[in-house]
Structure 1
Amino acid sequence: MANNGHSSLPYLMETSNSPRTTSISVTQEKIGVCGFSSVVADVAGKLRGYLDNKKPETVDVSLKPVQEVEFVASCMNLSEVPKIKALGVTILPCKTLGSPCLKITAASNTIKEAVDAVKQQVSTITTERYTYSKAGESKVLEKNQADLQAKFKDLGCKLYLSPVITHCQKYRYNIEGCVTLIVGQGNISQHAADALICPLSSSLSFDTPIAKQFLQIGGPDIRKVFDKFLKERQTLQPGDVVLSNPGTLGAQHLIYAVLPVWGKDTSTLRNINLQSTVQDSLLKADIKKCVSIWMPAMGCDTFGFPVTESCAAVIKGVLGFIKQKPQHLRNIFVIDSDAKIVGEIQSAIEGEGYRRQQITNKTATGTTLTAPSAATAPHNTHPPPPLVAKPGADIKVIISGVSVFLKKGDITKETVDVIVNSNNHHLNLNCF
């Protein structure tokens, strides 16, 4: 804007009938006009009118899936399109799952033209989906994912490979009548929530699968909090918790939790550190007046904790948090993309003596759980009573990651790989 102001000052001077003794000085903070009062008033009025037209405005251009925003950011280079470049437009991709968009910023007198130009460019984006369900296909694609993505980029395209989730499970537990612990399947980095927990090792490197997902969706801003630590060669230890800018994640707050690694510390110390990390993360969320918080299976996978040890530490962390008498946080979500781990977490929590209150099953390809927002989530309320299955409805439970269905019907009419039939000791099929 300063450059535009410099180029227009001679024109403003000429049209103001100002004598040559009038001077105009420009700094980053202000524009100064010095001269006779009548001339200063004339020039100042024209400057205000000009600057009002040059005030930056921001408009969101909505896109459908987050993938379209990522495609624009990595493949289209809209800022270099001649028409858009001439308008001095700034384009910021926003990858929030609930409302992915491009934030277009331009001068108020050109913002409409800039938005129209951007919309014209993104209207050409096309998305196609293909399902590969034959034996071995998904493994081959996963193995060659990097090469495939490089070839697609050369063609001006972007390739995404994602597993198809056919069932979304949710298990709800009432913890001491104070908070509700919900366990479910999904991608934690793509959820809209009041707060998200991202686990990191003490190296502060985003080298775990979950951390990479957070960085990809949240953008580089989410790692700026560690710049000071790295610059001053400071380190964080297992058990430390850091609040961060959420970037373009679908959350109001991002909390980094530094986790211990199974096998590196004594069993007592690592369990205490994991418990402390959970408790302190919840306390930070409550201080920020969050109603809901989402975390992965803390300590599992990359960090090596068995699911039972992880769940025991999480439960102790939640109980320690409850002892602090929280005022706002009521819903704690534990999310993992692996249905087997979700089932193991469910079994481990129930092994701790907590009874499942509700099971929600939805047959929906690729759907994920949605957290209640801070504005709509109930405060100081107990979870609803367990749902009773409707007559004739299918019942599903998960035992060690294996789905077991109880269904009413004629077994001879079912399309399955194997049917197990009962018989009597005479083997005459006369069982009924």
Structure 2
Amino acid sequence: MKGTGIEAIRGDITAWGGDAIVNAANSGLFGGGGVDGAIHRAGGPAIAEECAEIRRRQGGCLPGEAVRTGPGRLGVRHLIHTVGPIWKGGSAGERDILARCYRSSLKLAAELGARSVAFPNISTGIYGFPKDEACGIALRTVADYLAAAAEETRPEEIVFICFEADNLALYEEQMEHFKQSGDHKGNRGK
């Protein structure tokens, strides 16, 4: 079975040059702060125009779901918007919603034929999801998705792009644990 390369790097997701970037959007797809604002600024007005069309057509994007727009001026083929949960202490289904963000984004990326996908740290900024827990959910959900995906639709590369050093340290630590424990379900980490 061909493995998917999984890595975490520190950087600016808007400068990444693979097939698909996942945006941590808000449910109205308005382009807010954090990574969402950075993606809208770097990608230009075409992204906002396509988001407005999605709002007209379906009212936005529900938490845990994903929609696609063109990338505007970003150096990728696809821009996938997903809406993470706002942390309310963990009793409002936030963990399941966050896992759905990763699954629905990867499913949409597969439908689009994306061979490489970059994720930001979804919901860990102003939405307040605990960073260490969000990292574990991201890695487990991606590993589970890859283990179940057909080889021909599985991406060749998944990159977690961390803007902050503390997020990168969490990913590196938890990825090492996955490798040592064999919890990566046959996927090779970089």
Q: 1:206 aligns with which of 31, 37, 41?
A: 31
| RMSD, aligned CA | 2.6
User: Hey, what's the Cα distance between the residues in 2 that align with 1:274 and 1:309?
Assistant: 10
Distance 1:289-1:232 versus aligned 2 partners, 3 A rule: closer
- Counterpart in the other structure of 2:103: 279
User: Hey, what's the Cα distance between the residues in 2 that align with 1:326 and 1:189?
Assistant: 28
User: Hey, what's the Cα distance between the residues in 2 that align with 1:231 and 1:340?
Assistant: 38
User: Hey, what's the Cα distance between the residues in 2 that align with 1:313 and 1:177?
Assistant: 23
Distance apart, 1:331 and its partner CA:
0.7
User: Hey, what's the Cα distance between the residues in 2 that align with 1:285 and 1:232?
Assistant: 21
Q: Could you tell me which amino acid in structure 2 is paired with residue 190 of structure 1?
A: A
Q: 2:157 aligns with which of 311, 320, 331?
A: 331
Q: Could you tell me which amino acid in structure 1 is paired with residue 110 of structure 2?
A: D
Distance apart, 1:265 and its partner CA:
6.4
SS across alignment from 2:80: strand
Q: What aligned pairs does 1:11-160 form with structure 2 within 5 A after superposition?
A: none
- Counterpart in the other structure of 1:215: 40
**Which of the pair has more CA radius of gyration?**
1
Contact 2:24 2:83 in 1 (8 A): yes
Structure 1: state its 5+ residue gaps.
Answer: 1-175, 357-381, 387-432
TM-score under structure 2 length normalisation:
0.84
More helix by share: 2
Distance 1:326-1:243 versus aligned 2 partners, 3 A rule: farther
Q: Could you tell me which amino acid in structure 2 is paired with residue 197 of structure 1?
A: V
Structure 2: state its 5+ residue gaps.
Answer: 182-186
Q: 1:266 aligns with which of 77, 91, 101?
A: 91
- Counterpart in the other structure of 2:130: 306
- Counterpart in the other structure of 2:176: 350
User: Hey, what's the Cα distance between the residues in 2 that align with 1:241 and 1:179?
Assistant: 21
Distance 1:258-1:300 versus aligned 2 partners, 3 A rule: same
- CA offsets per residue over residues 12-47 of structure 1, 9 Å max, x none? xxxxxxxxxxxxxxxxxxxxxxxxxxxxxxxxxxxx
- CA offsets per residue over residues 101-153 of structure 1, 9 Å max, x none? xxxxxxxxxxxxxxxxxxxxxxxxxxxxxxxxxxxxxxxxxxxxxxxxxxxxx
User: Hey, what's the Cα distance between the residues in 1 that align with 2:77 and 2:130?
Assistant: 31
Distance apart, 1:310 and its partner CA:
0.9
TM-score under structure 1 length normalisation:
0.39
Q: Could you tell me which amino acid in structure 2 is paired with residue 258 of structure 1?
A: V
Contact 1:180 1:332 in 2 (8 A): yes
- Counterpart in the other structure of 1:291: 115
Distance 1:262-1:231 versus aligned 2 partners, 3 A rule: same
Contact 1:206 1:212 in 2 (8 A): yes
User: Hey, what's the Cα distance between the residues in 2 that align with 1:275 and 1:254?
Assistant: 19
Q: Could you tell me which amino acid in structure 2 is paired with residue 211 of structure 1?
A: D
User: Hey, what's the Cα distance between the residues in 2 that align with 1:260 and 1:326?
Assistant: 30
Contact 1:239 1:273 in 2 (8 A): yes
Contact 1:311 1:349 in 2 (8 A): no
The answer as to 2:11 corresponding to 1:186 is yes
Q: Could you tell me which amino acid in structure 1 is paired with residue 81 of structure 2?
A: Y
SS across alignment from 1:354: helix
User: Hey, what's the Cα distance between the residues in 2 that align with 1:201 and 1:235?
Assistant: 9
Contact 1:201 1:258 in 2 (8 A): yes
